[in-house]
């Protein structure tokens, strides 16, 4: 029983009732002009229901009408701030103007349905309470004192027991009609195929942006923390004040750079409207190489071709891939021999990072690699290139090949 009565305790049931009843305003106004509302016959009611249809269909051809109907339906037909129990579910009703004749046709069908349903529900909302009053009057000995279409035979005390029945029937009709109108709104005012594709594209863009930000944080902070751990461990093992000073200086510089990268990412997340600062590119690769050297790695670097000619996206992603490759070396192999080759050719950018394998290199040499290697592959794939990682003799090799055109 509580489950059956629960719709009667929800505010959305009554906002739906009001929303449907508003649809009857136009036919009632038209009826005041013709054929009139003084003792209308069933034929008059049929005429009242049909006369405004051309006007409603003409209004539905205006693109902004669909937006207005969608906003009203969202507010009145579905749980929201006005409801006692809120729903996070998307109502599935569009609030965009009509973009095609199909949208206009569906809007017209919705408006006609809302008008006819409003007229019918309005009559029911008028007659059922009137019937309750007739029952109450008949029970008191005064039958026929209301505008109810149903004439009660005689006066009986037991009519008083039937007084609540028309009201309960009305509430049940209201709850069912409101639920059906909500379903109809989803079908007739729901997003078109074009809108669904647009929403899917926007959602894909947001997911790609989130993945890009996650990669930025992983690469930047992971690199900084790895260098700090390696340098701190080396300084403690060396027990040399001069070496310790150099390690602390490198940790400070790396941490400052990581904080700058973190601030850039937070600016993008906050969407403050201020332009984010420039992201590091391959022109700053020396900073990565010096950080690796300060951690004890013996880095041999070879750069060929003009780095300044590399397009911005490829240069920035190349920097991050080089950063992640060096971080993997320090994390898994420690301060070992590293060979870095950056070659800018006519139409391609080639990046290679090799490090000697040692007893601590097993995690880097595992099949498939970890998150860092996966991130390198993803970055390369987004730019139309390819990345490979694996054992090459006594060396671990990460090779990236990016197109520049």
Give the integer Cα–Cα distance in Å for 336 and 319.
21
SS (H, E, C) 45-106: HHHHHHCCHHHHHHHHCCHHHHHHHHHHHHHHHCCCCCCCCCCCCCCCCCCCCCCCHHHHHH
Q: What is the residue-level pLDDT of the chain in tens, covering all 405 positions?
A: 556 677 778 888 999 999 999 999 999 998 888 888 888 888 888 999 999 999 999 999 999 999 999 999 998 998 765 444 445 556 788 888 988 898 999 999 999 999 999 999 999 998 888 888 888 887 777 755 555 555 666 677 777 888 889 899 999 999 999 999 999 999 999 887 777 766 666 676 666 666 666 666 666 676 677 767 766 776 666 667 776 777 777 777 777 777 776 776 666 666 555 555 567 788 888 888 887 887 778 889 999 988 888 888 888 888 888 888 888 888 788 778 899 999 998 888 999 999 987 654 444 444 344 567 888 888 888 888 899 998 888 889 999 999 887
For residue 138, CA distances in Å to 70, 132, 204, 394 come to 45, 10, 67, 104
Q: Provide the mean pLDDT of the chain.
A: 80
> What pLDDT does 125 receive?
92
- Residue 282, pLDDT score: 87
Residue closest to 105 by CA, chosen among 65, 143, 147, 145: 65
What is the distance between the alpha carbons of residues 54 and 307, in angstroms, rounded to a whole number?
A: 68
| Predicted TM-score (pTM) of this structure | 0.54
pLDDT of the residue at 139: 79
* CA–CA distance, 281 with 318 (Å, rounded to integer): 7
Provide DSSP, 263-282. HHHHHHHHT-SSPPPPPP-G
At 120 the pLDDT is 94
Q: Is 398 helix (H, G, I), strand (E, B) or coil?
A: strand
DSSP SS3 for 240: coil
> What pLDDT does residue 16 have?
93
Token pair recorded at residue 340: 């870095």
Q: Residue 346: what pLDDT?
A: 81
pLDDT digits (tens, 9 = 90+) for 81-103: 544 444 555 678 888 898 889 89
């Amino acid at each position: 029983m509580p489950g059956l009565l629960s719709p009667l305790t929800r505010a959305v049931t009554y906002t739906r009732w009001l929303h449907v009843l508003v649809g009857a305003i136009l036919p009632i106004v038209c009826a005041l002009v013709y054929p009139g509302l003084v003792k209308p016959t069933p034929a008059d009611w049929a005429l009242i229901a049909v006369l405004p249809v051309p006007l409603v269909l003409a209004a539905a051809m205006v693109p902004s009408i669909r937006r207005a109907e969608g906003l009203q339906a969202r507010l009145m037909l579905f749980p929201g701030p006005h409801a006692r129990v809120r729903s996070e579910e998307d109502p599935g009703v569009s609030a965009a103007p009509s973009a095609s004749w199909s949208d206009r046709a569906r809007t017209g069908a919705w408006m006609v349905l809302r008008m006819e349903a409003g007229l019918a529900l309005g009559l029911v909302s008028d007659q059922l309470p009137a019937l309750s009053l007739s029952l109450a009057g008949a029970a008191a000995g005064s039958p026929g004192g209301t505008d109810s279409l149903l004439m009660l035979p005689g006066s009986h005390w037991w009519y008083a027991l039937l007084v609540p029945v028309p009201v309960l029937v009305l509430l049940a009709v209201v709850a069912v009609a409101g639920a059906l109108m909500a379903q109809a709104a989803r079908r007739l005012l729901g997003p078109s195929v074009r809108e669904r594709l647009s929403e899917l594209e926007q959602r894909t863009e947001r997911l790609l942006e989130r993945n890009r930000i996650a990669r930025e944080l992983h690469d930047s902070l992971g690199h900084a923390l790895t260098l700090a751990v390696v340098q701190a461990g080396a300084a403690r093992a060396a027990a040399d004040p001069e070496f310790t000073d150099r390690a602390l200086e490198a940790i400070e510089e790396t941490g400052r750079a990581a904080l700058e990268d973190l601030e850039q990412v937070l600016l993008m997340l906050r969407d403050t409207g201020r332009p984010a600062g420039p992201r590091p590119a391959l022109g700053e690769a020396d900073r990565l190489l010096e950080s690796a050297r300060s951690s004890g790695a013996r880095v041999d670097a070879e750069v060929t071709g003009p780095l300044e000619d590399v397009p911005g996206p490829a240069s920035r992603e190349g920097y991050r891939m080089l950063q992640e490759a060096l971080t993997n070396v320090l994390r898994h192999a420690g301060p070992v021999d590293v060979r870095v080759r950056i070659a800018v050719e006519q139409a391609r950018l080639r990046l290679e990072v090799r490090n000697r394998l040692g007893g601590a290199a097993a995690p880097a040499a595992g099949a498939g690699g970890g998150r860092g290697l996966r991130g390198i592959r993803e970055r390369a794939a987004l730019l139309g290139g390819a990345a490979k990682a694996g054992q090459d003799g006594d060396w671990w090799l990460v090779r990236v090949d990016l197109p520049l055109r």
